[in-house]
């Protein structure tokens, strides 16, 4: 009797595991994982860091140097969406940290600062009780949440070098994904979901691209603006994106084997790409944001994933 019962448990477990794998790795036309498309980025090399003449270049974006990407890789064409992230939490019985702690970080215009607020989670990223549709980028996710999702999909977060290489798409000496002009408009078409006039109408303290209107005060559905040359959407704006790498203040000047000074040691991670919120200059392709690697998530921060596999 016990033996039969054990066998039944075993069979049900196997079926559950198989169905989890299928639901996590559902294949559609092209290369899709978790319901999201991945684009192939070929191997190559590029110049990483500030372009010449960038007056807003921070010290930690230097020295500009040649970096080799020795193997091609696949990267999510869009930011990870609310819908895909929800399926991941259901399929893997995973509870994101914002949900566990029932709090998130949002901008409060009155005090011109970001504050932890209860009832704000990845399900309600902007205010308690307000959900966002499934095709919007997931935010209020910690580095651990993001890396866990990517691992489930068979990958990991992009390294900082992979991220910048993919974002530049072979274009050298470019300040932004759309070119070098501070107005993100080409032929009348808005090029990024950045802080704009519609954002300013809600958050008057935020700085915006001058006279820019993209019609999204906060998030936009992923893929709402033109892609770069690698078919990647929202490498500029919408939400900032976690990278795999640790951050040291002058990491570019230290080899991985070198211990930075104590004052520079922080448990921090790199974020890239700028957001819908606050600061236009953070959209520069070489801009390196930094947030705590533990116990941190915020309304303007999401991610995408890298999967290493051959092109064919």
- Asked if residue 305 lies in contact with residue 162, where contact means CB atoms within 8 angstroms, the answer is no
- Tell me the closest approach of the beta carbon of residue 66 to Ca ion, in angstroms: 25
Residue span binding Ca ion (CB under 5 A) among the ranges 9-17, 24-32, 211-219, 277-285: 211-219
Interface with Ca ion by CB under 5 A: which range of 9-17, 57-65, 188-196, 283-291?
188-196
Verify binding: residue 142, Ca ion, rule CB under 5 A: no
Q: Is 158 in the site for Ca ion (CB under 5 A)?
A: no
Query: Which residues 6+ apart lie within 8 Å of 89 measured at CB?
Result: 95, 96
Q: Which residues of 278-288 are buried (b: 16+ CB within 10 A; e: fewer)?
A: bebbbbbbbbb
233 near Ca ion, judged by CB under 5 A = no
Choices 8-16, 193-201, 225-233, 290-298 (CB under 5 A): range interacting with Ca ion: 193-201
Is 205 or 267 the residue whose CB approaches Ca ion more closely? Answer: 205
| 234 lines the binding site for Ca ion (CB under 5 A) | yes
Kindly state whether residue 160 participates in binding Ca ion, applying the rule CB under 5 A: no
Torsional class of 9: left (φ above 0), alpha (ψ -120 to 50), beta (otherwise): alpha
Nearer to Ca ion, 216 or 249 (CB): 216
- Whichever of 60 and 214 has its CB closer to Ca ion, that residue is 214
Q: Which of 214, 222, 287, 293 binds Ca ion (CB under 5 A)?
A: 214
DSSP state string for 21-39: HHHHS---SSSEETTEEEE
Task: Identify which range of 80-88, 140-148, 196-204, 224-232 contacts Ca ion by CB under 5 A.
Answer: 196-204
**ω into residue 73 within 30 of 0, thus cis?**
no
Q: Is there binding between residue 60 and Ca ion (CB under 5 A)?
A: no
CB of 193 to Ca ion, least distance (A): 5
Choose which of 39, 177, 238, 286 interacts with Ca ion (CB under 5 A).
Answer: 238
Interface with Ca ion, residue 216, by CB under 5 A: yes
Please report whether residue 97 would count as binding Ca ion according to CB under 5 A.
Answer: no
Task: Select from 40-48, 116-124, 126-134, 187-195 the region that touches Ca ion (CB under 5 A).
Answer: 187-195
Q: Is 34 or 273 the residue whose CB approaches Ca ion more closely?
A: 273
Select from 98, 191, 193, 293 the one that contacts Ca ion (CB under 5 A). Answer: 193
Helix 2-24 / helix 82-91 crossing angle, nearest 10 deg: 170
Residues that bind Ca ion (rule: CB under 5 A) add up to a total of 8
Indicate the residue among 178 and 249 with the shorter CB distance to Ca ion: 178
Q: Which is nearer to Ca ion, 61 or 234 (CB)?
A: 234
Q: Give the binding site for Ca ion (CB under 5 A).
A: 193, 196, 214, 216, 234, 238, 273, 276
């Amino acid at each position: 009797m016990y033996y039969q019962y054990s066998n039944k448990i075993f069979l049900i477990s196997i079926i559950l595991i198989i169905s989890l794998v299928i639901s996590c790795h559902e294949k559609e036309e092209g290369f899709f994982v978790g319901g999201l498309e991945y684009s192939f980025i070929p191997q190559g090399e590029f110049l990483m860091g500030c372009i010449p003449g960038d007056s807003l270049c921070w010290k930690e974006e230097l020295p500009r140097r040649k970096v080799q990407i020795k193997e091609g890789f696949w990267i999510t064409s869009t930011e990870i969406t609310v819908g895909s992230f929800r399926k991941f939490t259901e399929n893997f019985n995973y509870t994101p940290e914002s949900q566990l702690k029932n709090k998130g970080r949002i901008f409060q215009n009155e005090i011109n600062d970001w504050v932890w607020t209860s009832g704000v989670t990845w399900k309600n990223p902007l205010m308690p009780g307000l959900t966002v549709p499934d095709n919007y980028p997931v935010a209020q996710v910690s580095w651990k949440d993001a890396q866990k999702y990517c691992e489930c999909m068979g990958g990991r977060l992009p390294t900082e070098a992979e991220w910048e290489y993919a974002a530049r798409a072979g274009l050298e000496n470019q300040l932004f994904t759309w070119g070098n002009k501070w107005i993100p408009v080409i032929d009348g078409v808005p090029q990024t979901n950045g802080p704009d006039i519609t954002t300013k109408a809600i958050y008057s303290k935020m700085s915006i691209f001058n006279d820019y209107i993209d019609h999204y005060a906060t998030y936009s559905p992923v893929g709402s603006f033109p892609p770069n040359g690698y078919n990647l959407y929202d490498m500029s704006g919408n939400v900032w994106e976690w990278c795999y790498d640790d951050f040291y203040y002058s990491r570019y000047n230290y080899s991985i084997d070198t211990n930075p000074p104590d004052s520079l040691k922080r448990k921090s991670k790199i974020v890239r790409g700028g957001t819908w919120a606050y600061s236009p200059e953070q959209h520069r392709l070489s801009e390196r944001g930094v947030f705590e690697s533990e116990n941190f998530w915020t309304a303007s921060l999401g991610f995408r994933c890298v999967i290493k596999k051959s092109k064919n």
